[in-house]
Amino acid sequence: MKLLRVGAKGEERPGMLDAGGLIRDLSGVVGDIAGHTLSDDGLDRLRGLDPVLLPEIPAGTRIGPCVGRVGKFICIGLNYSDHAAETGSKVPREPIVFMKATSAICGPNDPVYIPRGAEKTDWEVELAFVIGKRAKYVAEEEALSHVAGYCVANDVSERHFQVERSGQWTKGKSADHFGPVGPWLVTRDEVADPQNLGLWLDVNGERRQTGSTATMVFGVAFLVSYLSRFMTLEPGDIVATGTPPGVGMGMKPPQFLRAGDVIELGVEGLGRQRQVCMDDPG
């Protein structure tokens, strides 16, 4: 299934993409794509529906973040060896874990806001997974059963804040609209192998990133198990798994986003995003 949330910001209602690509309204069935809806039982209930019998949502309605009530937005840094090389970093021995503020989350086609004082705003296409079942001290062989599904994420980053102003990475990752997710959540039964998905990103029509999740240093199952040793993962938590090479800071000379730039990105089988960059309206 492909599940999504549509409507004005803060007023999104749940939906399902039918076989013909039409969005069907799930608000009469579930309150949101969140909480128990993400469990195996909740998803099985939705699979039992006939989408044709659900109301159609008009084309052109804004698509919001594909998951609601996100408790944690966790990110993994330098999780592709070739990306680590382009940044001049060593491949990590253990996952580099940092948080992105949940206030950064926005829809897949919402603008990317360039914050005040920014100098080096960058792009990062990533595979993200969403937790569907509480995970604590989970064995790797059982880890994927705790995943509800997968989606596209753009881990937008302000490198000046992240790298040059000391402290943790979080402040360079958490500006408003620095976390586009979606367009939809693809349930795990429709993703045969999360470690065999192509990723791509264009800026102003020029290809910047091309990669495959096959080259991730730490795969999804390992990450679920690893993270669950240090924190309890709850339904609705999002984990962005790192980016392949081709980010702006790795280019020679480096290139960064400016107001008016257009970012397009996608992950194989999970849809695509499009964002226009603009100065943060405050």
The 10s digit of each residue's pLDDT in 8-64 is 999 999 999 999 999 999 999 999 999 999 999 999 999 999 999 999 999 999 999
Q: What is the pLDDT of residues 168-214, one digit of tens each?
A: 789 999 999 999 999 999 999 999 999 999 999 999 999 999 999 99
Task: Give the model's pLDDT for residue 91.
Answer: 84
Strands 157-158 and 121-122 turn out to be antiparallel
**CATH number, domain at 232?**
3.90.850.10
- Which residues are 74's β-sheet partners? 99, 239
Return the structure tokens found at 78.
């330098």
Q: Is residue 16 part of a domain?
A: no
Q: Is residue 105 part of a domain?
A: yes
Tens-place pLDDT, residues 243-258 = 999 999 999 999 999 9
* Res 15: pLDDT: 98
Q: Which domain holds residue 214?
A: 67-279
Whether the pLDDT of residue 164 is over 90: the answer is no
Residue 199, SS3? strand
- Residue 11 belongs to some domain of the structure: no
Kindly give the residue spans of alpha helices, DSSP state H, lying in the chain: 40-47, 81-86, 159-163, 220-227
Would 126 be classed as within a structural domain?
yes
Residue 40 lies inside a defined structural domain of this protein: no
Would you say residue 3 lies in a domain? no
55 inside domain = no
Residue 82 pLDDT: 75
Number of domains in the chain: 1
- Is 93 in contact with 81 (CB distance < 8 Å)? no
Q: List, for residues 88-139, the tens digit of each pLDDT value.
A: 778 889 999 999 999 999 999 999 999 999 999 999 999 999 999 999 999 9
The model's confidence at residue 216, banded by pLDDT at 50, 70 and 90, is very high
Mean pLDDT of the 74-82 span: 91
Q: Can you read off the two tokens belonging to residue 276? A: 């226009």
pLDDT at 166: 76
State the pTM of this model: 0.96
Contacts of 155 (CB under 8 A, 6+ apart): 75, 100, 124, 126, 173, 178, 179, 240, 243
Q: What is the pLDDT of residue 89?
A: 76
83 pLDDT tier (thresholds 50, 70, 90): confident
Helix, strand, coil % in the chain, rounded to nearest 5: 20, 30, 50
Q: Is 242 among the domain residues?
A: yes
3-state SS of 53-68 is: HCCECCCCCCECCCCC
